[in-house]
Structure 1
Amino acid sequence: MGEASAAASPPLTVAQAVREAAEQLGPASTTARLDAELLMAAALGVSRSTLLLRHMRDSAPQRFAALMARRLADEPVAYILGVAEFHGLELEVTPAVLIPRGDSETAIEAARMYFSARAPARMLDCGTGSGALLLAALGLFPQAVGIGIDRSAEALAVAARNAGRLGMQGRAAFHLRDWDRPGWSEDLGGPFDLILANPPYVENDAPLEAAVRDHEPHGALFAGPEGLDAYRVLVPQLPALLAPGGVAVVEIGHRQAEPVGAIGAAAGLAAHLHRDLAGRPRVLVFSAGKSGAV
């Protein structure tokens, strides 16, 4: 019998596989290590904390390679996993909806600050997507009820499932509506104490990361050459939807505070600016009959 062939290399441990994966993802992701850990946790069917505490010395599962291949092709981790966290809520996400961002939590904090002395009773979320803003606000104001509208039936299905998984289906209703169409707000049961909106606000030719450009829904991203088309239609309609003392909390791009504030001013609305944790303009709180400026 001839000389024995060299023994096969031992399988990578979870720790080794995560380290190698983070190195591969480094050039394309600012959260390379986190991405690798989340995908490994999914491959093992455990939480990330359990992964880090109990499984780092285990053999890496074969399924991890397939998940990594998707991430290396720029597919966002949230779509690979099918879930994303927003304001402490775990939400289902699919390519039919934008992935909720931490920056958007500024809208919820702005609402909390405004309603510190009283709570809103009725809320409307314009362009609800996954339902992130509406469901977070319902969690913040447990006596309130809310309506989410979207022009995408697929997005509304995701939002309704999220309301159900969070036990909020009795407090949240979702309707197929498009604020570009006349009469869209009829029969919604307004006026509303709190209106939330994260409309499309990306310029049509804006450079975007491949993960966003190639995977997230363009209808929820792009809004004309200046990124202002959605504001020009929606913001002038807000005064008729607001209850006395109510506010509209509207997310903006970080260079859009002045033009969106001007659109609101032309509609008789005052605007108060809120910045995100990075100090960038992120939210305008619109109100009627109050002083305030961007």
Structure 2
Amino acid sequence: MPDETTITFYRDGEHFIEVDPTGRYGRYNDLLGSGAVKKVYMAFDQKEGIEVAWNQVRLGRFSEDPSLINRIHSEVQLLRSLKNKYIITCYSAWKDEERNTINFITEVCTSGNLREYRKKHRHVSIKALKKWSKQVLEGLEYLHTHEPCIIHRDLNCSNIFVNGNTGQVKIGDLGFAAIVGKSHLAHSIIGTMEYMAPELYEEDYTEMVDIYSFAMCLLEVVTMEIPYSECDSVAKIYKYVTTGKKPQALNKVADPEVKAFIEKCIAQPRARPSASELLKDTFFSELGDEETDVTRA
């Protein structure tokens, strides 16, 4: 097996660590991000002449967890089937038998995830935050009205990605997504605890859990504070969420319109508006018909 630090000189001195089976994509050693399951590297698409992201999962680490491997396969297949400008695009996927890895090539967002981007840019207008929010809702509307219906289930600011030069945001990391079809019902308890809707713990929920998570994302970008950061344990977060206790960060939202919009999105599931309904909300009226892809007011 090639050593991780080995440089492969490929085509006229281009420094790639490895290339895909077709020779189209070359991976660099520059790490863009790393999670519990996969690592994401900078790569290059030689056919189109663009930078891309090379997502890699080392299967040896999960040999005793076939369900996780199946979930990774499902994410790749799901990603490849989705076509929406607010969802990360997947270009190619394959299993490397020699290295025992699953690899998939996705578009790369130049500015990382929304959490990092917001920390870097502390002074952002409400109008810009609305533009980001509208794009996330556009992506959720696509998933929720897809045939079959798709629930993301793990929407948070670390898996919403940003192209900072255009202000465009895209939803990624669909590894926990549930394809629910006509019933619109899912049952597994899954997600990131601070963003999980209370009904999710009851193991009987719909795509409305994504609307709740979206509200927690908006709360985070407005206050620059992760929801329920006042809790010192997951048990306390669980208690707060399931008993309807709202995160303290909500009290820090100075703009009454923003606060009311967030509260609308975390209402009881039956009272929670859909993504399609929220996109028609007066909250976005100041944006008019202008493009939401550019943050410059």
Question: TM-score of the superposition, structure 2-length normalised?
Answer: 0.26
Question: TM-score of the superposition, structure 1-length normalised?
Answer: 0.26
Higher-Rg structure is 1
